[in-house]
Structure 1
Amino acid sequence: LYQYLGGVYACTLPVPMMNILNGGAHADNNVDIQEFMIMPLGAKSFAEALQMGAETFHTLKKILKSKGYSTSVGDEGGFAPNLKSNEEALDVIVEAIEKAGYRAGKDIALALDAAASEFYEKKKYVFKKSDGSVRGAEEMVAFYEKLVKNYPIVSIEDGFAEDDWKGWKLMTEALGSKVQLVGDDIFVTNPEILAKGIKQGVANSILIKLNQIGTLTETIETVNLAKVSGYTSVVSHRSGETEDTTIADFVVAMNTGQIKTGSVCRTDRICKYNQLLRIEEELGKAGRYPGWDVFYNVKKK
C-alpha cells in the first residue's frame, strides 16, 4: 500500500511518538496533561527507535512499581498512575530514559498532548486535576515556556483549546521557533481550517487522522498543504483503535516522518509498529529514518 500511494519516493520511516504516561481525560489521576510521549530521535533506524522506546517503557514500569504506583495501562497503552502533578510525570519519564541507558534530550526527547480543550472553561484554563489553578492565555504560554525550559520537550499538541485562536497565536509567537506545536482539535485534519491557521500564523504542525476528514484524497491534500507551508504532519491513530495498519503504510507513503500510535503494548497499537518494521526491512538501504531532521518547522534543533 505504501508503494501504491507514495510511489518510488515513499522511503521515510517515521519517528514514533510513543505514549507512555496518561493524565487528563485518559486517566483518574492528578495530572492535567493528557499524554506524555517519548520520541527516540537519536536512533539510527526505526527498529532501533522502537527498541529504545520499549526499553524506556519497561524501565518506567519498574520505576512506577518501586514507587508504589499502579502499572495498569490506559486505552492507548500508556500508564496512568496516580501521580501528584504534571511535573512529577515529566520527572519520572526523564528518570526512566536515563535508567534505560539513554540521554534525555539527545537520544530520546519528550512530547506532550495537553488536550487543552478538555480543561478550557469560560475562556480560562482550569487545572482541576492537579492544583485547581486557573490560567489565562498569557499564563498558559508562561506555563509551557517553563516546562520547555526545564525538560527536553520538543513537541506540544493542543496546548490551547480548539476555539482559542488568540491563545494559539500567542503560543506560536512565543514557542513556534523552538518547539513543534501540533494542531489537532483546532484543525481536525481539514485543509480549509489548516489554510486559515497558516495564514494567521497559528501552530507549525498538524495532526493527521485518516478517518477524521473522511477521504484519503482530502487527507493527502492536507498533508501536502502542510508540507508546502513549512508545517510538519504527524500521522495519528485514534483512541479507540482496531488492528488495521493502514496508517503505517500511509505515513511512509507521505514521507511525513512522524507517527503517533500509542505505546508498545496492546495489540491494536503494536500491529502498526510491526508493519513499519516490515516496511523498513523491505525498503532496505533505500529506507531512511529522519531522527532530529524531522523538525524542519523548528529553527533551533
Structure 2
Amino acid sequence: MQTHMKQNLWGYLFISPFIIGFLAFTIVPMIASLYFSFTSYNLFNPPEWIGFANYIEMFTSDPRYIQSLKVTFIYVLAGVPLQLVSALFVAMLLNTASRAVGLYRTVYYLPSLIGGSVAVAIMWRNIFGDEGIINLALQGLGLDPVRWFGNPTAALWMLIFLAIWQFGSSMLIFLAGLKSIPQSYYEAASVDGGSYFQKFFHITLPMLSPVILFNTVMQTIGTFMTFVPAYVISKGTGGPLDGTLLYSLYLFKQGFEFFHMGYASAMAWVILVVIAVITSLIFYSSKFWVHYESEGGR
C-alpha cells in the first residue's frame, strides 16, 4: 500500500507543473472573468456589481457590438469553408508520388507557420495598399487602382483571403487522411468503371469525413478568435466603417482601450457560448454525414 501511495505521489509531483499552470492561468482567470462580467470594472477601481447590465447593454444599446457579431459571422461562414476547400484541393494535388513532393508540402505549409504574425499582416496590408503590388500591377495594365482597404466589404474580404491563405495545417491533416485511405478501394472502383468524380464523392469524401469534421471544428474555433490580422490591417480601428471590426478586436478595444473590463468579460463569455453552441451543432450534424468505417457506415 505504501509503495502504491508513493508511486501516486511521484505521479502527482511530475504533473504538478501542469496542474498549477492550469489552475493559475486557466481556471482562476475564467472564474474571475465570469464574476467581472456582472460588474462595472475599469481596472483602476474595485469592481461594482451591476448584475446582467453588461449583457443587456450589448444586445440593446451597443450597435458596434451587433456590427462586430455580423462581421465575425461573415468572416467565419465565408472563410472556413473556402479555407477547407483550398486545403483539400492542395492536399489532393500533393497526394501524388513525386521526388519534390516534400518540398511542395513545406512551401504550402509556410504561410500557416507565419500567417498569424504581425509581420505577415503588415505584408498583406502593403500588398493590397493604395501603392501596393496589386495596384501597381493594375496600373501597369492600364487599369485604375483599387482602394482595397477603403471599402468595408473589400477590406473584410482581404481578411478572409488572408485566412484562406493560411490553410497549411488543414492541408497537412487532409493529406494524412488521404494517405490512410486504402488504395484497393480506388482500384476496385476503376475495375467497375468508376469515374474520377465518382471516386471522389463515393470514396474520398466518405473516408475523409472524420478528418473534415476535425478540421471544420478546429478552424471554426480558431477563426472566431482571429485578432492579429484585423488589428494590424485596420490599425486597431476595425475600419473602414467598422467593416473589419471582428469580435475579438472589439473585445480588446472595450477591455484595454476603453477600460470597460467588465463589459469585455461579458463579451468573452457570450462568444464562448456561441462557439460552444456552433461546435455542438457541428457534432450533432456529423451523424448524418460522417462515415466511420469501424461502425460500418455513418
Instruction: Give the structure-1-normalised TM-score.
Output: 0.22
RCO higher in structure (CA 8 A, sep ≥6): 2
Instruction: Compare the two structures and name the one with the higher strand fraction.
Output: 1
**Greater helix fraction, Structure 1 or Structure 2:** 2
